[in-house]
Homo-oligomer: A and B are copies of this chain.
């Protein structure tokens, strides 16, 4: 094992699958692309105990060259490929859940694949093995679940090709699964990713030793072609940054290599080495079959066609992408999320900031984020107190800067008033929801359909831990995934000041919500006026959240009157106004609000068909 490397399709153990069980299908497996497989064998492993209620099963789906050995079965066992995620006390806790992982159909770790005997000929299938899809893999898993007597699986989780299987579960058997966690994956591959696969398969098939796929009787295997495909795969699993970090010249010891090129470049020597090791244990026909299954996977090429495919799903979803994953780029996960939003309200999405590329979902580097997301999502603690205080201690400088854009954050006395303005049966979207405190309080007093949008990764984790669905997004980008009028109320609580485009975000708020609720600090509060007029200095403290004018990001200052003028000129109807002096917690009368209130809350609707808002008064 090479300790310089971990990869999304790297089987860490080459040992036989000692704890594997097998299921022989009595009925033929009819394949999505035609044909059928007779006498299918499905090899799998399990951990933990199925509960008496049979409601604690979690299926883990492996990636291209992974296998059923996710984690060890005991201290003497071989390590598995996802030990950080699955095991006692891990996010997928084998002391709590009954964990199942089967080897995919088409692979070469025991389940029926190209190296299996074709009953029709008595010889290995080889290149005659039929084209298998992700759907076929999931159908085999469904039969296993039936065999184990499980009606509804608690969760299905996996990354890369494993993530494709998760998505297929959601599309094919939404009634059989409670929660779905696709990671580092997509509804279909990019043209670029397909192109890499095509080159890899071309390398395999043009290797003279491939012999049309019937090399099992030969002493020679298409090792060169498979090694080339594998090398290419490795490059795509790493980000540019992680590749550079791992392959600094001189880092690896000199190795005996075939050519001067590989001696010169450590990355070449590394790849050649990895390629050889892989060739010894992986079947070229399986590699072709599984990479083809990935290329054929296609739930739709945009959010709307994808939404149709996933229309019947009513499950909870946690979608995780990784910022430097260029094989399955984050925008593809966001397309999945947008499609899910068309029908569902229980989606959490996080784009984990990382340099680790596609492999990130297997690595410890960002496990404090994506591992805790999975843990929280699988076992949320809705009554847990916010962890913002402890969380704040470890936040990065950039997060701190983000946080300070949300003013008076720790003194959210406006929440009480916001709660009073939201009917308890209303569905609510909180734009810039932070750690979900407002949504948590709304849910506590009865609002069932709640959702947040937030750009801080750490805040997303906290929301997941509390069981609050939240979408990781920059509010200055699009909110396209939300349908028109999808929520009764959309909240923009002390967030408008930092927005790049006020009209766009207010427009989006009133497109998605039937009502919009905006709170903001009043720049014309008397102390601000006095400070500027008498002292010649700009407002601080209450507006700038204890910061000086120079050490906070640029903030958009505006008064209650400015905002009312804005509403009037944009034909927005003001339904309610609440004005506060936060230092005394006193409610301020409308007639003196622009002077005496330091915080304002407006309830808006777009004025279409409504009476015009009352003319604002200068004060």
Query: Which residues of A are in contact with B by a Cβ distance under 8 Å?
Result: 190-192, 194-196, 198-199, 201-203, 205-206, 208, 224, 227-228, 231-232, 234-235, 238, 240, 243-244, 246-247, 259, 261-262, 264-265, 267-268, 271-272, 292, 295-296, 326, 329, 401, 497-500, 502-503, 523-524, 528-530, 532-533, 535-538, 548-551, 553-562, 565-566, 594-595, 618-619
A556 touches B555 (CB 8 A): yes
A interface majority secondary structure: helix
With contacts A202-B227, A536-B594, A537-B559 known, what are 18 further pairs, Cβ within 8 A?
A192-B238, A195-B231, A198-B268, A199-B228, A199-B231, A199-B235, A206-B224, A264-B295, A264-B296, A523-B532, A528-B532, A529-B536, A533-B533, A537-B561, A538-B558, A549-B566, A550-B556, A555-B556
A190 proximity list for chain B (CB < 8 A): 240, 243-244
- In the bound complex, how far is the Cα of B259 from the Cα of A503, in angstroms? 53
The residue in chain B whose Cβ has the minimal distance to the Cβ of A189 is: B265
A196 proximity list for chain B (CB < 8 A): 235
**Known contacts A190-B240, A192-B240, A524-B537, A259 near B556 by CB under 8 Å:** no
- In the bound complex, how far is the Cα of B272 from the Cα of A490, in angstroms? 52
Contact of A195 among B268, B595, B619 (CB under 8 A): B268
A201 proximity list for chain B (CB < 8 A): 259, 261
A262, A271, A296, A532 pick with most chain B CB within 10 angstroms: A532
- In the bound complex, how far is the Cα of B401 from the Cα of A83, in angstroms? 49
- In the bound complex, how far is the Cα of B497 from the Cα of A530, in angstroms? 22
A231 proximity list for chain B (CB < 8 A): 195, 198-199, 202
A556 proximity list for chain B (CB < 8 A): 549-550, 554-555
- In the bound complex, how far is the Cα of B218 from the Cα of A300, in angstroms? 49
A538 proximity list for chain B (CB < 8 A): 523-524, 557-559, 562
The residue in chain B whose Cβ has the minimal distance to the Cβ of A196 is: B235
Question: Could you give 14 example pairs across A and B, Cβ below 8 Å?
Answer: A191-B240, A191-B267, A192-B243, A198-B231, A198-B271, A202-B231, A264-B295, A499-B554, A536-B594, A537-B561, A538-B559, A549-B558, A549-B562, A550-B562
